[in-house]
Amino acid sequence: MLNDDIWFGIEKRKRSLNPIFLFVAGMNLGEKLNPYVRDILLCVLLEIYYRELRDDEARTKDDIYEVVRDVIETFELDYKEDDVMRLGNGIFYFGDSKRMDSFKGHYYNHEKQTFEDQRFSYLEQDREYTKLKKGNSSL
């Protein structure tokens, strides 16, 4: 018999952990980059996070591709331009970038006694910034 205490807050815990558990899941970039994919994308996410904190406007999709390149070059790893695109897109979308699917995890809902889906994104568009840029005809 399971201890009833394990169910207290399990839904919230799993929903918090899903983005970590699923980080770069299923991404295959070959023998040279696969061992380092999580390290690369963690550095990319941190760079974007700090840029946002500092109101640095260099947070566009192209900027993120450049950050991916910079991180890979800092790690002195061999790469192809296609790797940069796949890594950059891997932060934005799950699977095919043409479909732009969000990431999906699951968690157990103890009350309903069933598993439920959770959709999430690692990065989201800064709508306020985008509106300001559109108003200034910068886009």
DSSP output for 104-120 = EEEEEETTTTEEEEEEE
Assess contact for 44 and 71: CB atoms under 8 A: yes
**What percentage of the chain has pLDDT greater than the value 70?**
85
Task: Please tell me the total count of domains within the chain.
Answer: 1
Q: In this predicted model, what pLDDT tens digit does every residue of 82-121 receive, in sequence order? A: 999 999 988 887 766 666 678 889 999 999 999 999 998 8
Q: What is the DSSP string of 5-38?
A: GGGTTHHHHHHHHHHHHTTTTT----TTTGGGHH
Domain hosting residue 86, numbered range: 10-135
pLDDT at 23 over 50: yes
Residue 110 lies in a domain: yes
**Is 1 part of a structural domain of the chain?**
no
Structure-derived torsion over alpha carbons of residues 8, 11, 14, 16, reported in degrees to the nearest 10: -100
The answer to whether residue 74 sits within a structural domain is yes
The DSSP secondary-structure symbol of 103 reads E
Q: What angle do CA 135, 136, 139 make, to 5 degrees?
A: 90
Please report whether residue 86 resides in a domain. Answer: yes
Q: Is residue 3 one of the residues assigned to a domain?
A: no
pLDDT of residue 117: 94
- What average pLDDT does the segment 32-56 reach? 92
Residue 45 domain flag: yes
